[in-house]
Structure 1
Amino acid sequence: MIENHIRLGSDDYNRIALRDDKRVVSYADVWDKVQEKSSALTGYKCVGLALDNSVDWVLWDLACLVQGVVVVPIPPFFTKAQTQHALQSSGCDGLIKDDGISPLPFIPVDLPLGTAKITFTSGTTGTPKGVCLSSQSMLSVAQGVVDMLGVDFAGVHCSVLPLAVLLENVAGVYAALIAGATVVLPSLRSFGSQYENLHSVLSTEKATSAILVPEILRLLMGQVVARAPLLDLDFIAVGGARVDKVLLSTARSMGLPVYEGYGLSECGSVVAMNVPQRDRSGTVGTILPHVKTDIIDGEIVILNPAFLGYVGAPHAGIFKTGDLGTLDDDGFLSVTGRRKNVLITSFGRNVAPEWVESKLLSFPDIAQAFVYGDGQAHLSALIVPSRPDVEIAAVVDRVNKDLPDYARISDFSMTAPFTPADGTLTGNGRMRRDRIMATRLNLQKESKMKFYDRLVKETESARQELYAVPQLMDGIKGKISRETYIAYLTEAYHHVRHTVRFMMAMGVRLPESKKWLHDAISEYIEEEKGHEEWILNDVAAAGGDKEEARNATPNLETQVLVAYNYDYIARQNPVGFLGMVFMLESTSIQIANKGADAVKGNLGLPQTAFTYLYSHGALDIEHLKFFEDLVNKIDDPEDQAAIIEVANNTFRLFANVLRSIPHEQEVRNVA
């Protein structure tokens, strides 16, 4: 069936059908290449497809459709757990990767009759939901796209989204092949982690069409401004989330031929689309010829959905999309928001957050926006700026002027980008609102906590791991030998002697904006000078050889602790060393005096053998207060994250240092 559709696509069989950076396949050769793949599918019933965008991905996909093998595309942004769930719940007995197909041990499951593909979308929950589609339903969508757009646009289609995203798979590749276009399939890596190379790829490939989600469109707009217009492009479909008409008009003024569409996996990817011949600003276009829709109680309802059901749950009848919308007299569909996302303010006003978000996103200064405030008097927003120097407050003021009182943003906070990788976006760019509420808003609350309190809270587990080390527990009780105590002092000498050097290295590497920390570093250096000699004097007072301790080779664990800190200061973030300071000082005030008292009493050692511990027990109480005041002034999220990271890691590394000290649970008195 699919062969017949695609054979109609190009009268010129020498025309290139598929191209990536490794191979080129003409229309004349497509089915020979598909048959080569088909032979490897013998005996398989359901296979996962986990490849980067490539000619191979498309050939394997077509081979599965031809052979009647159910294919389960695995999105590259899925976690291991999500991938495992998709493969196991579908009953995949094979997995296609770079080295070919290999068997899987999963038990076959009953799937709706006619299932050809299971597309998994992470949706609004962490567990992916498998949508079962027939080959006929997908081809109907692809043919509908071609019928609406026309074959005149069959030039060079560049796949920008992952092929495992149904929109790119069906409306991109299938439609392009039916129309007779050349499908260019760059590796996703070639675009860059933040699509920073998108303009270059589209320009080099002379792409005439592409499918983008709004976030990627905004990135491309910035690249066009910085570089040059993309004159070859004739059609860019934009979908996955609501796009404000101001943003679309701005993109078009840059020469980007953008047209908004709307779709769902349950409908085979596309329900409606604007095209050059039939376009209306502010709508998602007209309905594809084969799709039957209605608006019931304000909700968009599909009367003849394409899907056969979800994995484990067959479907029959109409499909309620959950999207709110309207259909005008000319057949143009408008999507106003999600029914379940509607916010009801404490004044009883209903607000679709997508409406307000689209207003914010109409300004290129804002890359992403999330509006919330259910049950509150006013709305709030989490905002991702498109660049560091943006005056977001000014943008919010401008947006508010065009909104009614009940829909205005009263306060906002900056946040890190929403991505599929951290679970805050689905693969096609839809916000997972529940996930954002559960994670980002909690982080916002935590950000209002003083940073020192966060540091204490987020290092609790690592700190308790240190306090559970037998050498430390027994030391606090005084149940260690003199040899163990001297061994401890020896290892302490070999990391304490680097403290001043650590501080100096930190100060040298601080950027200009962080030079205000120099005063604190100078104070630490003044306080810490010579402490390593105190330790050697304690060794001698305890009956050891101070020069032997000085010249000893420290245990590997001590060397790793020292090397980690030098490396982090030099290669990561010098401010992070304050995490090591926190580890040492917080540990000292907890154990130094108590441990010194117990060991001194049980071993009968003189007071002069505990200079280092007693001094740090007292000093570090003052130091820790100084430290608390200092780190509470650090408001850079990257610096805060670095301090927490180093603190957690050095608690664990110091625990290893203590574990490396020879120790028997017995007391041998010096007498």
Structure 2
Amino acid sequence: MAALPELLACEAQAHPSRIALQGPDSAFSYGQMMQAAEALAEQLRLLGVKRAGLCGDNSLAWILADLACLMTGVVCVPVPVFFSSSQTSHLIERASLDCLLSGEQGTGSEHLGHGVWLRHLPVTGAGAWMPEATSKITFTSGSTGTPKGVCLSSAQMTATTLALKERLDGVALQRHLCILPLATLLENIAGVYLPLLMGATVIVAPLQSLGMTGSSGLDLGSLVSGINQHRPHSLILVPELAMALVAAAEQRQLDSRPFRFLAVGGGRVSPELLARGRAAGLPLFEGYGLSECSSVVALNVPGAQCEGSVGKPLSHVELMVDTDRHIIVRGNTHLGYLGDEPEADDWLDTGDLGAMTPDGFLLVNGRAKNVLITSFGRNISPEWLESELIQALGAQQAVVFGDGEPNPSALVVIRDGRSPEQLRGDLAALNASLPDYARLQALYIRRDPLTQAAGHLTTNGRPVRHRIQSDLPTLLAAAFPLFSSTLSVNQSGDSHMAFFDRLQQETAEARAHVTGAPVVSAIAEGRFSLEAYTWFLTQAYHHVKHTVPLMMACGGRLPERMEFVRKALVEYIEEEYGHHEWILNDLEACGADKEQIRNGKPDLSIELMVSYLYDQINRCNPAAFFGMVQVLEGTSIELATPLGEQIQKLLGLPNQAFSYLYSHGALDQEHFEFFRNLMNDITDPDDQQAIIDAARVVYRLYGDMLHSIPLPADRKEQAHAAA
């Protein structure tokens, strides 16, 4: 079997001028890619490099350096961008690296060409034992804080790539966009080697430009925008990204037409999500693999798929489920772990439980051991985090849970009487020291210890995890929750979005009525008049003048259990008081009679919006008021400053006519973050639903107002109106 460099050389000979790598500012044809990689390989030979760490953001230089290592036999060790400094140091020392390669210039680095920089590392000794045929060492996120190095040969990576190419025969993929870090083995093999052997173009962009930060951070708007811009045929997704893109496709924010194959792996995916995605035009196909098998070992594809399964095994491996229901693999397993002698057994126990269907599809039913897998595909040992919690928080007991969630949570027993605020600070300090995928999203504090009598502990004091999991609703209901991120676990024990994110998601369709108002595009096209601006400000005055009275009415009606919300309203009132007078001053600067407007009446949409909110507060649930906050402050952040600047440029008005728009564009950034945290503290389902329902109504009515703004038909009409 030819190795990857030889196979890529054949592709370059077949179509040398076809684009192989596409970056933000440059591109390489297949011929240019091979020439550049060969030139870099020669540089590595001359420098005597044997083991190189490959670090940095996704870039063309990263791929070229990786290919150069393959060509020259340098052991390549990708350094995940999300590793903590201590994990990176462990990786460098464990692998005894000669140097670090990067697409970014660093202190003491030298340029090898084609954007690749090399920094020599001090000699640290012989390093850990490594199998002779090792070509790449991929460090997993580690089920503990110390990652393990999986040693792979070039032949093993080639075998996986060719097996994937065979499985995808008939799927025409010409453009693949890398949205996972290239240091992730799955993206490295299935997102770079595979498309290149298929003669496709690999599109690479900085992860932050695609909304990705760390191992788990996501700005969905930036990701969707980047995907829509690049129009790839294929993507590799972890479950968290699949969920986000399905929601975006359902809301018609994501253009699904270019997609031909979206692979999902790295964690459990619900059949319902896959079905929703396909209904929204996303060709989602679940697969399964692990680093120890050079990534993918099973994959669903068009024409050969089974709902609820991860597909049939690829042709280069044997896979079976033993009598203990463990999934075991043979045929393309790793050479060994860095520093550990390889095991004699040909079969590799994956650590997963599963079953095979009669027609050969693999079902994965969970972990055989206690390791949690986050929805971003990161492995976490609960025992590791529990020891960290006991040490950092002085907890008497700790149990970590959250398999399939973006981040883990923990139930802790603390009996020394510290306040929640003190513990919040301790939790923040602990999270700051952890890799981002292992940071705790929620802490549930108990004062009474878990006991053996209740079945929660073994005789030697270890947690009985299955019993604790089954009793989790009761245990959490009796605990005090502290949240450190936007995701949490509710008191019934079900995993779910924190309320703010749910509010955003469930009002997305209603929000489109505001952001899609004709006035937004009209301003961008230069079709906006002084009449339109004064009409908008007039309506703003008539609802803003009710903001403080509405807050006071809400505060007076809140039950005692929501005292923390009443306290927040006091702060809101101080911030909002008098803003309606700002609007009148803006109107006066536009030449309007502010007293006439003060005594006038609003548009019917605003009259109904204000009346609805008073009615909800007085007759139904006072929490409904925050539906208005969701709409108005969110809209201010998104539209106020950019539209204000365009309007001022179009109409030539003084700054004194924009105190409302400009202040709210900036001011509401802080308000909205305050609002986000407040919403995440509201846990009563009735209160939450009242806020969601009110937000939908206010989006509708506020959007009706925006749709009613009188707009000139064209610039000529606008100029005539201005004259």
Using the size of structure 2 for normalisation, the TM-score is: 0.51
Whichever residue aligns with residue 121 of structure 2, its letter is L
Whichever residue aligns with residue 350 of structure 2, its letter is T
User: Does structure 2 retain, via aligned residues, the 8 Å contact 1:211–1:236?
Assistant: yes
Whichever residue aligns with residue 301 of structure 1, its letter is I
Closer, same or farther: CA 138–94 of 1 in aligned 2, 3 Å: same
* 1:30-84 residue CA offsets vs partner (Å, 9 max, x unmatched): 1110022223323111111112111111000010111111111011111001111
1:331 has 2:386 as partner: no
- 1:143-292 equivalences under 5 Å are 143-150=162-169, 152-193=171-212, 194-196=218-220, 197-226=222-251, 227-292=253-318
Closer, same or farther: CA 187–445 of 1 in aligned 2, 3 Å: farther
Whichever residue aligns with residue 294 of structure 2, its letter is G
Shift of 1:121: 0.7
Aligned partner of 1:5 in structure 2 is: 7
Closer, same or farther: CA 440–215 of 1 in aligned 2, 3 Å: closer
Whichever residue aligns with residue 269 of structure 1, its letter is S
Whichever residue aligns with residue 124 of structure 1, its letter is S
Give, in whole Å, the separation in 2 of the partners of 1:573 and 1:198. 24
Give, in whole Å, the separation in 1 of the partners of 2:67 and 2:357. 38
* 1:233-256 residue CA offsets vs partner (Å, 9 max, x unmatched): 100000001111111011000000
* 1:365-422 residue CA offsets vs partner (Å, 9 max, x unmatched): xxxxx999xxxxxx99799799xxxxxxxxxxxxxxxxxxxxxxxxxxxxx9xxx998
Shift of 1:573: 6.7
User: Does structure 1 retain, via aligned residues, the 8 Å contact 2:265–2:288?
Assistant: yes
Shift of 1:137: 0.3
Give, in whole Å, the separation in 1 of the partners of 2:52 and 2:283. 37
Q: In percent, how many aligned pairs have the same letter?
A: 36
Aligned partner of 2:120 in structure 1 is: 103
3-state DSSP of counterpart to 1:4 = helix
1:516 has 2:530 as partner: no
Closer, same or farther: CA 69–219 of 1 in aligned 2, 3 Å: same
3-state DSSP of counterpart to 1:271 = strand
Closer, same or farther: CA 576–325 of 1 in aligned 2, 3 Å: closer
Given the alignment, which residue of 338, 360, 363 partners 1:311?
338
Give, in whole Å, the separation in 2 of the partners of 1:195 and 1:518. 27
User: Does structure 1 retain, via aligned residues, the 8 Å contact 2:160–2:295?
Assistant: yes
Give, in whole Å, the separation in 2 of the partners of 1:121 and 1:517. 46
Given the alignment, which residue of 16, 31, 34 partners 1:31?
34
Aligned partner of 1:501 in structure 2 is: none
Shift of 1:443: 4.4
- 1:354-433 equivalences under 5 Å are none
Shift of 1:9: 3.6
User: Does structure 1 retain, via aligned residues, the 8 Å contact 2:352–2:364?
Assistant: yes
Give, in whole Å, the separation in 2 of the partners of 1:239 and 1:84. 28
Note the residue ranges of structure 2 that are not aligned, 5 or more in a row.
106-116, 213-217, 384-399, 408-426, 448-475, 485-547, 556-563, 573-666, 683-723
User: Does structure 2 retain, via aligned residues, the 8 Å contact 1:92–1:107?
Assistant: no
Given the alignment, which residue of 73, 83, 92 partners 1:87?
92
User: Does structure 2 retain, via aligned residues, the 8 Å contact 1:93–1:108?
Assistant: no
Shift of 1:638: 8.5
Give, in whole Å, the separation in 1 of the partners of 2:97 and 2:157. 21
Give, in whole Å, the separation in 1 of the partners of 2:349 and 2:366. 14
User: Does structure 2 retain, via aligned residues, the 8 Å contact 1:324–1:335?
Assistant: yes
Aligned partner of 2:75 in structure 1 is: 70
Shift of 1:154: 2.9
Shift of 1:204: 1.4
- 1:607-622 equivalences under 5 Å are none
User: Does structure 1 retain, via aligned residues, the 8 Å contact 2:53–2:97?
Assistant: yes
Shift of 1:519: 9.9
Shift of 1:127: 0.8
Shift of 1:449: 7.3
Whichever residue aligns with residue 303 of structure 1, its letter is R
Give, in whole Å, the separation in 1 of the partners of 2:571 and 2:79. 50
3-state DSSP of counterpart to 1:164 = coil
3-state DSSP of counterpart to 1:85 = helix
Give, in whole Å, the separation in 2 of the partners of 1:371 and 1:127. 14
User: Does structure 2 retain, via aligned residues, the 8 Å contact 1:7–1:178?
Assistant: no
Closer, same or farther: CA 574–277 of 1 in aligned 2, 3 Å: closer
Give, in whole Å, the separation in 2 of the partners of 1:189 and 1:574. 25
Give, in whole Å, the separation in 2 of the partners of 1:305 and 1:336. 23
User: Does structure 1 retain, via aligned residues, the 8 Å contact 2:50–2:75?
Assistant: yes
User: Does structure 1 retain, via aligned residues, the 8 Å contact 2:444–2:481?
Assistant: no
Equivalenced residues, count: 414
Aligned partner of 1:121 in structure 2 is: 140
Aligned partner of 2:58 in structure 1 is: 53
Give, in whole Å, the separation in 2 of the partners of 1:301 and 1:518. 55
Shift of 1:575: 13
Give, in whole Å, the separation in 1 of the partners of 2:308 and 2:673. 48
Whichever residue aligns with residue 517 of structure 1, its letter is K
Shift of 1:444: 5.0
Aligned partner of 1:20 in structure 2 is: 23
1:293 has 2:296 as partner: no
Closer, same or farther: CA 43–155 of 1 in aligned 2, 3 Å: same
Shift of 1:277: 2.6
Give, in whole Å, the separation in 1 of the partners of 2:357 and 2:568. 65
Closer, same or farther: CA 39–237 of 1 in aligned 2, 3 Å: same
User: Does structure 1 retain, via aligned residues, the 8 Å contact 2:268–2:404?
Assistant: no
RMSD: 4.2
Give, in whole Å, the separation in 2 of the partners of 1:33 and 1:82. 31
Give, in whole Å, the separation in 2 of the partners of 1:519 and 1:336. 47
Give, in whole Å, the separation in 1 of the partners of 2:143 and 2:300. 27
Give, in whole Å, the separation in 1 of the partners of 2:405 and 2:72. 46
User: Does structure 1 retain, via aligned residues, the 8 Å contact 2:306–2:361?
Assistant: yes
User: Does structure 2 retain, via aligned residues, the 8 Å contact 1:305–1:319?
Assistant: no
Give, in whole Å, the separation in 1 of the partners of 2:156 and 2:302. 25
Closer, same or farther: CA 53–381 of 1 in aligned 2, 3 Å: closer
User: Does structure 1 retain, via aligned residues, the 8 Å contact 2:81–2:181?
Assistant: yes
Give, in whole Å, the separation in 2 of the partners of 1:518 and 1:229. 40
User: Does structure 1 retain, via aligned residues, the 8 Å contact 2:326–2:368?
Assistant: yes
Whichever residue aligns with residue 363 of structure 2, its letter is S
Closer, same or farther: CA 383–57 of 1 in aligned 2, 3 Å: closer
Whichever residue aligns with residue 88 of structure 2, its letter is T
Q: Which is greater in Rg?
A: 1
Give, in whole Å, the separation in 1 of the partners of 2:308 and 2:568. 55
User: Does structure 2 retain, via aligned residues, the 8 Å contact 1:82–1:127?
Assistant: yes
Shift of 1:17: 0.4
- 1:262-661 equivalences under 5 Å are 262-296=288-322, 297-316=324-343, 317=345, 318-341=347-370, 439=440, 442-445=443-446, 516-517=566-567
